[in-house]
Amino acid sequence: MLKITLSLWDTGGQERFNFFKTDFFKGIAAVGLIFDLSRPDTFDEIDDYFNELREQSGNIPIFLVGNKTDLKESIGETIPRKKIIQKVNQYYLFEYLETSALENKNVERLFYRLAITALLDLKPRLGEIVDSNHFRFKILLAGAAAVGKSSLIRTFTKKSFEQNYKLTVGLDFMIQDLEIPEENVPKETLELIKKSVKSYKKIVKKYRKKEEISEILETLKETQEH
């Protein structure tokens, strides 16, 4: 069993907080790019967020997420599915999911997919390997204001929908652990993960040894001075 600790970050989405985004796009392992299925304008903003993500974080896995499917029945389809799929193909996005935080539809699946994709794309970055069977990933939900990023995170972590919550100002984050059975991960990927862990441990050991040597030399220097 592989343990995954997700650090879930949510950017506020308000234009006046755009300066936050470039800082927090760094070091992320996977992204959920969220838009509101009932608001076509939030879908139109996907391009700007995608371009900024690629500029700041490179070729990381990005999922496109249409949230608030619970509103489809009452308002109908406001964004043609053909247009959405075209966007996925245009940017080579990893996957498209439709979710509802209110009805808890596909919420767990979204974060599970983000977690396993981050694992499959293991680099590793600093701090991602805790030990041989425990990994920590920074996951970002990005998109326009009020598309439901905070609601998705809170529904996933608290297992219930909060009717009353404040609009995220700047950014917010929560921590959640989940487990992935090893049989759900391809054998070839497990071998690559083991090699990454082994290499990472060698680097850490070498770095710690250098630190110890530096401390010894510093102590000797201080002793000679006295």
pLDDT (tens digit, 9 = 90+) per residue, 183-196? 888 888 888 888 87
Enter the DSSP assignment of 138. E
- Look at phi and psi of residue 6 and say left if phi exceeds 0, alpha if psi is from -120 to 50, else beta: beta
Percent pLDDT > 70 in the chain is: 78
The overall average pLDDT reported for the chain is 82
Burial label, 31 (beta-carbon count in 10 A; 0-12, 13-18, 19+)? buried
pLDDT at 101: 93
SS3 call for 29? coil
DSSP assignment of 208-219: HHHHHHHHHHHH
**Model pLDDT for residues 19-66, shown as the tens digit of each residue:** 455 566 778 999 999 999 999 999 999 998 899 888 888 899 999 999
Report pLDDT for 187. 85
Residue pLDDT, tens place only, 75-93: 888 999 999 999 999 999 9
Q: How many residues are listed for the chain in this entry? A: 226
Identity of the amino acid at 159: K
* Alpha helices, DSSP H, located in 45-131: 46-57, 72-75, 81-90, 107-120
What's the whole-model pTM score? 0.82
Per CATH, the homologous superfamily of domain 2-185 is P-loop containing nucleotide triphosphate hydrolases (3.40.50.300)
Give the least confident one: 85-89, 133-137, 169-173.
169-173
Q: Per-residue pLDDT for 168 more than 80?
A: no
Q: Can you tell me the distance from the alpha carbon of 132 to that of 193, in angstroms, rounded to the nearest whole number?
A: 9
Position 18 pLDDT exceeds 80: no
pLDDT tens digits, one per residue of 100-109: 999 999 999 9
In this prediction, residue 167 carries a pLDDT of: 54
State the helix-helix crossing angle for 187-225 and 107-120, rounded to 10 degrees: 70
What separation in angstroms does the CA of 17 have from each of 13, 21, 59, 76, 126? 7, 7, 24, 32, 27
